[in-house]
Amino acid sequence: MEIITGKLIIIAFFILIIHSIETLAYAVRLAGARVRLLASALALFNVMVMVSRLANMMQQPFTGSLADTAPKETALAFVEGQFRIIIGAASIGTILGMLLLPTFMAIFSRAILHLVEERGSVPALLRKGFTLPYIRRAIKHIRRPSLSYIKGIGLRDIPVKLFITNVVITAVYTIGVLSAIYASLLVPEHKTTAIMASGLINGVATILLIVFIDPKISILADDVVNNRGSYTALKKASIIMMMSRLLGTLLAQVLFVPGAYYVSWFSGIIS
């Protein structure tokens, strides 16, 4: 049985899109600070987060089915190979999000202004955005990735604690579901407990993200709007956080199997 299947390609594509969206969420804050409409940008940011979370929930049953259809005699090695491809898709999605940053900063800047014109109606914004004239305008906003975005970023600009925290949180979030499913193969007698642990893992990672990462970037954006900080500093911080997300998806490759063994151990304790 081949490791790479049509179902795996579809799941990997979903993961790629999810991580692209979550990476591009930083572009919303940058766009909001640029047009000085941070509260309206937050509304758009929440829509993006909702879409990525919904897409993540949609792919989970399909990811679980990979373990169900794996050959019994080589299930562990087979599923590990497939899940590492999925984690790789998360890294590619993060890179894609970074490359699309200039384009989506321009698009989001316009989207925020249109959201204000529509008096905060997201459905009206979507109806307008998906009309042919506005799609043509969006195409005109396509920008090439440029090294100028990382020019001037030095080691002194990197907030080490925040950087490492985001790397770890991203890694845990990336492998949460995958490690739980793999753990169900390690301890089939506790497999339901192991799978249900994925919600706890992702929930903790999301809470840590909200508590430790988001407020720091939000304060920088507020400083720009209130003329207490520079837009360049906000852009540097956002790009650094994107880089830490990428490293987090790479770290996920290392933590995937140990995380599964931890989940299996924890499942045995609480069962």
DSSP output for 124-161: HHHHHHTSHHHHHHHHHT-----GGGTTT--GGGS-HH
Q: Six-digit token pair at 86?
A: 């999925």
Please tell me the predicted confidence (pLDDT) of residue 1. 61
How many helices and strands, by DSSP H and E, does the chain display?
A: 10, 0
Q: Which residues, other chains included, contact 173 with Cβ-Cβ below 8 Å and sequence gap of 6+? A: 202, 205, 206, 209, 248
Query: Quick check: 86 and 11 in contact, CB under 8 A?
Result: yes
Q: Which residue has the higher pLDDT, 88 or 139?
A: 88
pLDDT tens by residue, 150-163: 666 766 777 888 89
Look up tokens 């109806």; give the residue.
127
Tens of pLDDT, residue by residue over 196-244, are: 888 888 888 888 888 888 888 888 888 888 888 888 888 888 889 999 9
Rounded to whole angstroms, how far apart are CA atoms 201 and 178?
11
Mean pLDDT of 140-147: 77
User: Which pair of tokens denotes residue 227?
Assistant: 């003329």
Residue range 68-99, pLDDT digits in tens: 888 888 889 999 999 999 999 999 999 999 99
Contacts of 159 (CB under 8 A, 6+ apart): 216, 237, 240
Which has more confidence, 183 or 41? Answer: 183
Calpha distance 231→235 (Å, rounded): 6
Alpha-carbon distances, residue 207 vs 45, 203, 214, 237, 252 (angstroms):
17, 6, 10, 21, 18
| Residue 98 confidence (pLDDT) | 92
- Write down the pTM of the prediction: 0.89
69 close to 143: Cβ distance less than 8 angstroms: no
Q: What is the C-alpha separation between 140 and 97, in angstroms, rounded?
A: 19
Q: How far apart are CA 138 and CA 128, in angstroms?
A: 12
Report percent pLDDT > 70 for the chain: 96
Task: Provide the sign of the torsion angle of the four alpha carbons 123, 142, 24, 79, taken in this order.
Answer: positive
Q: Per-residue pLDDT tens for 234-271?
A: 888 888 999 999 999 999 999 999 999 999 998 888 87
pLDDT for the residue 243: 93
Taking the C-alpha atoms of residue 202 and residue 164, their distance in angstroms, rounded to an integer, is 18
Poorest-pLDDT segment among 71-80, 121-130, 163-172: 121-130
Residue with tokens 């590990």, as numbered in its chain: 80
Structure tokens belonging to residue 177: 């579901």
Taking 90 as the threshold, does the pLDDT of residue 182 lie above it?
Answer: yes
Spatial neighbors of 238 by CB under 8 A, at least 6 apart, are: 26, 27, 29, 30, 217
Q: What is the mean pLDDT of the chain?
A: 86
Comparing 172 with 155, which gets the higher pLDDT?
172
- 35 in Cβ contact with 113 (< 8 Å): yes
Instruction: Provide, rounded to the nearest whole percent, the portion of the chain with pLDDT above 90.
Output: 32
pLDDT of residue 16: 94
pLDDT of residue 8: 93
pLDDT exceeds 80 at position 167: yes
Cα dihedral sign, 13-15-18-19: negative
Task: Give residue for tokens 């109606």.
Answer: 121
Q: What is the mean pLDDT of residues 115-139?
A: 82
